[in-house]
Structure 1
Amino acid sequence: MPAPEEASPSPLAVHAGQALYTRSFLRIYDTLVYRVNSPLTWRCPKERLVALYDRHVSGNHLDVGVASGVLLDECRFPVPAPDLTLMDLNPSSLAAADRRLRRYRPRLHRADVLRPWGLPHGSVDSVGMCHLLHCLPGTLADKAVVLEHARLVLKPGGTLFGATIPGSGVDHNRSARLQLGLANRHGIMSNRLDRPEDLDAALAAVFPEHEVVVTGSVALFWARTG
């Protein structure tokens, strides 16, 4: 399969999706996201996401869109000293996750996920992508280039896994609808048109094996290379 063409979303739209992750916001991120929003608004508790990591994370792992690094901090790696790379466009997120995960001595890689990642092809056994896709501009068809970028860096038999919040096609409660409206107006999320079936189709176009499971308002997914 040929390398994907570079996407060309508005630089302002790309920036908006990650600009919230300042040093001050990251200090309250775990409380706001995983003690409040995940269990109450999105109805997918942190434990469900950590379990997704436990099931699919490898000893040679790349995490994309790292936020505070809490899921990597709490998951069980299959080896005591994993080879870990953290990738994000936001330097504050990279710094926060690096501090939290310093025991693993992770490599840091700053890059825009919508453009070629600048990492060796076939170099990792797993890629984590949690709560990233709903922050990227465009429709899921536009964002699908990210899945192809992930496929390129995975080894044969490697696994991509993660979670995203679709804007439609799932059962949102009142709090979720309010937060989605606010986040989309400010460009923090761009997921009004994202649907689980579109994610399923995008994964199927890139990977020979995949699964999408909806928990609350969240679509959990995994996909494996051939």
Structure 2
Amino acid sequence: MDPSARIYSRFNLRLYDVVVLVVSNAWAWRCSTTLTLLPFFHKNLGESAHLDVGAGTGYYLAKSVHPLSKTGNVTLLDLNEATLNTATSRLRHAGYKGTIDEVHHNVFQPLPESLRGRFDSVSLFYVLHCLPGRMEDKGPKVLANLADGLRPDGVLYGATILGRGQGVSHNWLGRRLMCLYNKKGMFGNADDTLDELKRALERYFEQVEVKLVGVVALFEARRPKMKCTRKAS
């Protein structure tokens, strides 16, 4: 398993919300979880079927449980069984009564046939910056695979921490965390830029919106172009 996925042991997941969602987001990446990321997640969440890629602790889904009461199915996709189990447990504890499917899957591989064309929304929060490789290489592969999961009127949305480029200025804490996490293989975003992310999205979607908050890029992509996986191969 890649270091970026292996790091999420059951013990580390207990610390994730405090270390990442409270401390790092506020002080290192300068993008508030509660003021920016959670409202962004909530706004784009579909009402029928949702695919959450990189399940983490299930924080965003659990906090969005009210609109999820209308959602018949949530599918969690991750390489790590611990994150899948943790997110499912948290979502149930928050009161979600619909169907939850856990899918153990590598985002660099095409989606299983059963997941294609199925979802109103696909969320990709804090996944791209954890993947190895340059954005110009990893972005198209991952986005093409996930675009295949959307219905024609669906939306793929998410957030990723950028490494450099116009408008990206890391503070003292951010620079040190970036160096540490990239060195350990937990991050692979040292060269990720906003322009490369936007180009990757525009390759597979007709409508793309990207904005920068702190050093975090928030993106929405709609109207997926046809046969995305075949184009990426």
Give the structure 2 partner of residue 113 of structure 1: 107
The within-5 A match list for 1:50-199 is 50-59=38-47, 60-75=49-64, 78=67, 80-82=69-71, 83-102=73-92, 103-104=96-97, 105-118=99-112, 119-143=114-138, 144-169=140-165, 170-199=168-197
Pairwise CA RMSD of aligned residues? 1.3
Which string of whole-angstrom CA distances, capped at 9 and with x for unpartnered residues, describes residues 1-54 of structure 1?
xxxxxxxxxxxxx61111110000000110111110111111101121111111
Give the structure 2 partner of residue 46 of structure 1: 33
**Distance in 2 separating the partners of 1:32 and 1:108:** 25
Give the structure 2 partner of residue 216 of structure 1: 214
Decide whether the 8 Å contact of 1:203 with 1:210 is kept in 2. Answer: yes
**Distance in 1 separating the partners of 2:22 and 2:161:** 17
**Distance in 2 separating the partners of 1:213 and 1:76:** 26
Consecutive unaligned residues of structure 1, counting only runs of 5 or more, are: 1-13
SS of the equivalent of 2:176 reads helix
Using structure 2 for the length normalisation, give the TM-score.
0.88
Consecutive unaligned residues of structure 2, counting only runs of 5 or more, are: 225-233
Using structure 1 for the length normalisation, give the TM-score.
0.91
Query: How far 1:141 moved relative to its partner?
Result: 1.6
Deviates further, 134-143 or 68-77: 68-77
**Distance in 2 separating the partners of 1:187 and 1:142:** 17
**Distance in 1 separating the partners of 2:202 and 2:153:** 15
**Distance in 2 separating the partners of 1:63 and 1:71:** 10
**Distance in 2 separating the partners of 1:136 and 1:46:** 21
Query: How far 1:81 moved relative to its partner?
Result: 3.7
